[in-house]
Chains A and B, each alone.
Chain A
Amino acid sequence: MDTSAKNKAYWRKNLQYLAILLSIWFITSYLCSIVFVEQLDKIRFGGYRLGFYFAQQASIWIFVELIFVYAWLMNRLEKKYRTDAETEETEQP
């Protein structure tokens, strides 16, 4: 693959990751914590109401995980698509 085709493939894969991770982001924050919170509140484990737990605790931890997962996926992807000779240089401002 030449460089430009490689870059295109890299970008397409990146957009796929974004679509998946942002869907999870949307489902946890907007669907589980806001739109369907009342329905989920009926599901209880001991003191946990699922909707309330999503809205005030779980979503925040899921956000943290999403970012770390994305960082890990992208590091792997960059290693794969960067030609062996070049290493990621520090971008100078």
Chain B
Amino acid sequence: MNVQAWTFVMVGLSFALYIGVALWSKARSTGDFYVAGSNVHPVVNGMATAADWMSAASFISMAGLISFMGRDGSVYLLGWTGGYVLLALLLAPYLRKFGKYTVPDFVGDRYYSQVARIVAVVCAVFVSFTYVAGQMRGVGIVFSRFLNVNIEIGVFIGMGIVFFYAVLGGMKGITYTQVAQYCVLIFAFLVPAIFISILITGNAIPQLGLMGKVADGSELYLLDRLNGLSEELGFNLYTDGSKSTIDVFFITAALMLGTAGLPHVIIRFYTVRKASEARISAGWALLFIAILYTTAPAVAAFARTNLLKTVRYEQNGERTDVRYEDVPSWFKNWEATGLITFEDKNEDGAIQYRGPNSDIENELTIDPDIMVLANPEIAKLPNWIVGLVAAGGLAAALSTAAGLLLVISTAVAHDLLKGAIMPTLEEKQELTAARIAAGVAVCIAGYFGMNPPGFVGQVVAFAFGLAASSFFPAIVMGIFSKRMNKEGAISGMIVGITFTAAYIIFFKFISPELNTPDHWLWGISPEGIGTVGMVLNFIVSLSVSALTSPPPDEVQTLVDDIRVP
């Protein structure tokens, strides 16, 4: 069978699996719909959280980005895992102990204020929509690259699947499909990684291969070989960074704090039975995530080495650039998709791939996404593995999209409708409202997937920055400071969000030409500014609450209650 037939088989089988799981786990009450009845086993929840968290960006783009960024790529590796420590130690167990269903529930009750609840709802919906649009786009791209259908049809099929299990099964359906999706995506990521590790280093464990020697007879360590090749072609050393230390520090912190404050991650910890299970479940989640996140930097280094060795090698005792007619077939296949472009500027028939430190003009442009998508072909793996990678990419995108859609539907039906507008809503009506909200959210997400606003890439910085500068401080102080009152929390959130949003909007939309380190505040890029927003939030909240009256007694009792063993 050819690649396309195998892709249809793999994608079809995985979709059938998700539908089967959804039918088996239909939601019957609002408790089922919002938090899967709160009786999910911690290991199962850990696996579902891992799939929920790892999006199309983690599966498809991250290894490629690292392979072009070298050591700077660690901002993603650290930022998107370290937040789980904060989540498990500072947030998840207490939110679970508090009960209820959502983050706005906690913010509204703890700060005894409908304003605080509505600010939280707006943030949750905004953050989730920016995120989900990217996932739907990812679904469309996988379909169009692997199955040659156009992006719109791909998005439409993805919408149909998510609609089916999110609207029918709610959190219960999503939880068990996410478990299935984790298995598909981790298998699809590891199999090519193991093969390419054997190919490049002779070691079957990618994490060890990264630190081992290359298997090309040069007896050099992989990272030394990669540094040598990079230097020869005028790139920075792979193990050196080009971002400033302060920027790396602040970006990593913003991603970590944002991770801990993202509502679709937090909401997963409401599905376990009790606080102690929320803690251990976060550990399992991070373990399942770490399997992919420690493999990705290895894949990045292998793919980079392989690429550089393909374009530049030794022939008759001389170092030479590859001639265009001699490139391997994967190169031409991906050239056809426009993800690799070669322009023979000096018309010598050879491909000069050069970095910023070289005198020779660069002729090759490569989209980072290729590093994962083309791996199976580069490693000459059988066609069914290529199909598996497509199914894995779809699993990653769909599982994240479903988790986000649930946050949107919960925020609208539970926090806004039942919590603020129509408190008399009965359970059955609320469940129907939640289903309708989920359905509408799927359609809006699909629309953005088909017609992506030009700024989807930029708004991801937004999602993390806003979560870091609003939710994270508000929740942490709600638990650890009994004195924190609504005046403090609300003014802190408003200052944090306004500062972060203004900085990002200024550099990303109003004056993108000024978006360089010279113009940044203390050399901190818009990606890292959420950390400063968070610090401002803490300072403002603590000062304002010190000057205003303490929260009422029943709120102080509420805080005491979530602190007991």
Contact = CB atoms under 8 A, between A and B. Distances in A.
Interface residues of A, number: 46
Contacts of B279: 67, 70-71, 74
Contacts of A25: 82, 85
A29 B210 CA distance: 20
Contacts of B73: 56
Given A63-B85, A81-B565, A29 B38 contact: no
10 smallest A-B Cβ distances: which pairs? A47-B221, A55-B74, A67-B283, A71-B279, A56-B297, A78-B565, A71-B280, A67-B88, A47-B211, A68-B283
Interface of B: 31, 34-35, 38-39, 66, 71, 73-74, 77-78, 81-82, 84-85, 88-90, 93, 96-97, 99-101, 207, 210-213, 221-224, 239, 241, 245, 248-249, 252-253, 256, 270, 273-276, 279-280, 282-283, 286-287, 290, 293-294, 297, 560, 563-565
Contacts of A92: 38, 99
A81 B241 CA distance: 48
A34 interface: yes
Contacts of B294: 56-57, 60-61
Contacts of A67: 84-85, 88-89, 279, 282-283, 286
Contacts of B256: 29
Interface of A: 7, 10-11, 14, 18, 21-22, 25, 29-30, 33-35, 37, 41, 46-49, 52-53, 55-57, 59-61, 63-64, 66-68, 70-71, 74-75, 77-78, 81-82, 88-93
A30 B119 CA distance: 32
B368 to A, nearest CB: 17
Given A59-B82, A64-B290, A7 B222 contact: no
Given A56-B73, A56-B74, A60-B81, A22 B89 contact: yes
Given A63-B84, A71-B279, A93 B564 contact: no
Contacts, number: 147
A37 B74 CA distance: 11
Contacts of A71: 88, 276, 279-280, 282-283
B565 A34 contact: no
A90 B274 contact: yes
B565 A55 contact: no
B287 to A, nearest CB: 5
Given A47-B212, A77-B565, A93-B31, A55 B96 contact: no
Given A61-B294, A93-B101, A21 B565 contact: no
Nearest to B97: A91
Given A71-B276, A91-B97, A34 B252 contact: yes
Given A25-B82, A29-B256, A59-B77, 4 more contacts: A7-B564, A34-B249, A56-B73, A67-B88
Interface residues of B: mostly helix, strand, loop or mixed? Answer: helix
A91 B85 contact: no
A34 B96 CA distance: 33
Contacts of B34: 93
Contacts of A30: 249, 252-253
B31 to A, nearest CB: 6
B88 A93 contact: no
B559 to A, nearest CB: 11
B225 to A, nearest CB: 10
A49 to B, nearest CB: 6
A10 B565 contact: yes
B82 A29 contact: yes
B565 A82 contact: yes
A56 B77 contact: yes
Contacts of B287: 64
A21 B223 contact: no
B252 A21 contact: no
A81 to B, nearest CB: 5
> Could you say which of B31, B82, B97, B294 has the most chain A C-beta atoms within 10 Å of its C-beta?
B82
B276 A63 contact: no
Contacts of B89: 18, 21-22, 66-67, 70
> Could you say which of B31, B99, B210 has the most chain A C-beta atoms within 10 Å of its C-beta?
B210
> Could you say which of A22, A35, A60, A68 has the most chain B C-beta atoms within 10 Å of its C-beta?
A60
A73 to B, nearest CB: 10
A60 B213 contact: no
A53 B208 CA distance: 11
